[in-house]
C-alpha cells in the first residue's frame, strides 16, 4: 500500500477531551485543506473494458485504427454511381439493373458498372465502382430492375473511412470519468483494457456497546447500527470499495486491535462513534498513540467531535456516532478524500440551486452550520428556483430529518445566519427534485 505524504501542518500535542470538552475547534476550511493535502489520486491499475464504467482514466487513450475502417453504407438501399441518378424524380424514374447484393461483413466481389446497382444494407462495405446509396424508400425493385425516384450526390448516405474516428486521434484525456458511451467508443477501436485510477479501499468500523447489527430489531436499551449502511452507500457513491467490519465494543484493547488490523488493509478507515468527550470515547486517544491525530474537534454544527489522522498508510476519519453528524462529517471531509483518492473531483457531489429562504436561519460566528431544508413553495424572485425553510427539528440524532429534507445549506463561520427572503445556495440530496417546489394554487 502506498505511503501517504507527511501531514501538514504538524499534528498538535494530544489533549484528552474526555469529560473535559474541547479547548478549541479547528475551522472547517482548515480541515478541508488538510484533507486535500493527504488525498492525492491513487496509482493506476488496468481493468477490463466491461468493468471501466464510472472509473477515472489514468492516462490518455488514442485510436490506433480508423472507424469505420472502410467505406460503408449508412442506409438500406442501393449502391449506385451517383451521376447516373441525376434527373431522377417520382415523375421521371431512372432504371438500373440490380447485379447483386451486399450484406454487413460480406464485401461485393464485383465492380458496379455503368447502368448497374447493388442492393446494400446499412453497415455493409460499399462495392467498388459505387459512390452513393439511394435509400430503399426512393427505389422500386421489380425483377432485376430498380427504378430510382430521387437523385443522390456523390458520397450521399456513405460513411467514409475515418469519418467517426481518425487514426492517432486522442479519444479521452486522463482524468475523464468514463461513461457508457465512452466504453462503446473504446470498444470500436479495439481497446479491451483500460488504465484507471485505483479505487480506494475504505474500511467502515462502528463502535458502541449499545449497538445491534443492521437487520436486527431494537431491543430494550439497545439500538440498531444505522451508520454503517449509510456510510457504505456513501463510499460506493464516491468511488470507493467498502469493507464493512463487525461492531467493535467500547473497550480500548478491542478497538486498538480492530484499528490496527483495518488500517493495514485499507486506504481509508472510517470510525463511527467513540470520538466525542465521553468516558468511553477512546478512538482519538488510541489514534494519537498508534499513529497521528491531526485534528480532533471542528467548528461545525453538527459533527464538532470529528477527527482526522493517519495510522500507517491509511487516512483515518473519526466520525461522530449521531447519524446526522456522521453524514455531515462524512460529506464535508471523508467523502472528499475518497473522491480525490479515486481520481474524482473532490467537490460536493450534490446539485446546487439558489433558493429563497422563507424562515430565518440563526447561527453563531466562528462556526459552520449544516442546516437541513425542504421546499415550501415557488420562488418570488428570478434569482431563485423555489422557497425553502429550515427544518424545526435539528438534533444530530434525528436521522429522519435528512429523509424529510430536500437538501441542506452551509452557513459560513463568518456569518450569523440569514434573514427571511435571503437567497441561499441549496445542496440537493437528489440530483432530481424528489419534492419539487409547489406551484401557486
Which grid cell is 184?
A: 462503446
Q: How far apart are CA 86 and CA 150, in angstroms?
A: 8
The three cell numbers of residue 136 are 430503399
End residue of a domain, out of 293, 321, 341? 341
Quick one: what percent of the chain has pLDDT higher than 90?
A: 85
Domain range for 223: 28-43+198-341
pLDDT of residue 109: 94
Query: Is it true that the peptide bond before 9 is cis, omega within 30 degrees of 0?
Result: yes
Q: Could you tell me if 282 and 305 are in contact, meaning their C-beta atoms sit under 8 angstroms apart?
A: no
**268-299: per-residue pLDDT in tens?**
999 999 887 677 789 999 999 999 999 999 99
Pair 202, 212 in one domain: yes
d(CA 159, CA 83): 18
Give me the CATH number covering residue 123. Answer: 2.170.190.11
- Each residue's pLDDT, cut to its tens digit, for the chain (441 residues) gives 344 343 334 445 566 655 555 667 899 999 999 999 999 999 999 999 999 999 999 999 999 999 999 999 999 999 999 999 999 999 999 999 999 999 999 999 999 999 999 999 999 999 999 999 999 999 999 999 999 999 999 999 999 999 999 999 999 999 999 999 999 999 999 999 999 999 999 999 999 999 999 999 999 999 999 999 999 999 999 999 999 999 999 999 999 999 999 999 999 999 999 887 677 789 999 999 999 999 999 999 999 999 999 999 999 999 999 999 999 999 999 999 999 999 999 999 999 999 999 999 999 999 999 999 999 988 667 788 899 999 976 666 788 889 999 999 999 999 999 999 999 999 999 876 556 565 444
The domain spanning residue 261 has which CATH number? 3.40.980.10
Residue 284, phi then psi, degrees to nearest 5: -60, -45
CA 135 to chain centre: 42
Q: CA-to-CA distance for 264 and 363, rounded, in angstroms?
A: 41
Name the DSSP letter for residue 143: T
Last residue of a domain, one of 341, 368, 388: 341
**Exposed (0-12), middle (13-18) or buried (19+): which is 92, by Cβ within 10 Å?**
exposed
C-alpha cell at position 296: 480532533
First-to-last alpha carbon distance for the chain, in angstroms, is 60
Per the CB < 8 A criterion, the answer to whether 250 and 274 are in contact is: yes
343 and 375 Cβ atoms separated by less than 8 Å: no
Residue 358 lies in a domain: yes
Measured over the CA atoms of residue 44, residue 47, residue 51 and residue 57, the dihedral's sign is positive
Amino acid at each position: 500500500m502506498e505511503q501517504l505524504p507527511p501531514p501538514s501542518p504538524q499534528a498538535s500535542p494530544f489533549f484528552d477531551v474526555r469529560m473535559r470538552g474541547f479547548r478549541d475547534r479547528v475551522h472547517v476550511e482548515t480541515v478541508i485543506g488538510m484533507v486535500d493535502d493527504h488525498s492525492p489520486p491513487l496509482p493506476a491499475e488496468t481493468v477490463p473494458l466491461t468493468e471501466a464504467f464510472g472509473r477515472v482514466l489514468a492516462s490518455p487513450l488514442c485510436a490506433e485504427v480508423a472507424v469505420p475502417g472502410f467505406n460503408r453504407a449508412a442506409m438500406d438501399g442501393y449502391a449506385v454511381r451517383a451521376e447516373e441518378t441525376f434527373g431522377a424524380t417520382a415523375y421521371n424514374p431512372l432504371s438500373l439493373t440490380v447485379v447483386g447484393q451486399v450484406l454487413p461483413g460480406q464485401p461485393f466481389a464485383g465492380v458496379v458498372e455503368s447502368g448497374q446497382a447493388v442492393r446494400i444494407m446499412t453497415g455493409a462495405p460499399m462495392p467498388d465502382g459505387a459512390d452513393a446509396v439511394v435509400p430503399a424508400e426512393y427505389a422500386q425493385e421489380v425483377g432485376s430492375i430498380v427504378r430510382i425516384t430521387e437523385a443522390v450526390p456523390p458520397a450521399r448516405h456513405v460513411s467514409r473511412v475515418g469519418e467517426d474516428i481518425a487514426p492517432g486521434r486522442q479519444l479521452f484525456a486522463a482524468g475523464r470519468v468514463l461513461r457508457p458511451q465512452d466504453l462503446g467508443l473504446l470498444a470500436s477501436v479495439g481497446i479491451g483494457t483500460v488504465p484507471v485510477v485505483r479505487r480506494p479501499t475504505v474500511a467502515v468500523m462502528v463502535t458502541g456497546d449499545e449497538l445491534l447489527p443492521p437487520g436486527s430489531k431494537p431491543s430494550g436499551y439497545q439500538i440498531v447500527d444505522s451508520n454503517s449502511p449509510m456510510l457504505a452507500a456513501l463510499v460506493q457513491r464516491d468511488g470507493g470499495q467498502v469493507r464493512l467490519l463487525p461492531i467493535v465494543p467500547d473497550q480500548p484493547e478491542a478497538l486498538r486491535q480492530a484499528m490496527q488490523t483495518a488500517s493495514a488493509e485499507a486506504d481509508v478507515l472510517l470510525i463511527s462513534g467513540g470520538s466525542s468527550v465521553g468516558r468511553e470515547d477512546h478512538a482519538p486517544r488510541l489514534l494519537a498513540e498508534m499513529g497521528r491525530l491531526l485534528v480532533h474537534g471542528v467548528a461545525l454544527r453538527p459533527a464538532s467531535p470529528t477527527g482526522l489522522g493517519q495510522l500507517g498508510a491509511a487516512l483515518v476519519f473519526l466520525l461522530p456516532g449521531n447519524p446526522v453528524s456522521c453524514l455531515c462529517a462524512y460529506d464535508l471531509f471523508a467523502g472528499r478524500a475518497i473522491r480525490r483518492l479515486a481520481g474524482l473531483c473532490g467537490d460536493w457531489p450534490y446539485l446546487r440551486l439558489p433558493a429563497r429562504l422563507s424562515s430565518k436561519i440563526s447561527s453563531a460566528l466562528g462556526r459552520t452550520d449544516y442546516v437541513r431544508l425542504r421546499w415550501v413553495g415557488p420562488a418570488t424572485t428570478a434569482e431563485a428556483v423555489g422557497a425553502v425553510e429550515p427544518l424545526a427539528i435539528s438534533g444530530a440524532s434525528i436521522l429522519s430529518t435528512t429523509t424529510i429534507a430536500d437538501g441542506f445549506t452551509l452557513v459560513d463561520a463568518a456569518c450569523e445566519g440569514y434573514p427571511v427572503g435571503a437567497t441561499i445556495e441549496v445542496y440537493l440530496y437528489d440530483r432530481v427534485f424528489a419534492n419539487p417546489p409547489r406551484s401557486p394554487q
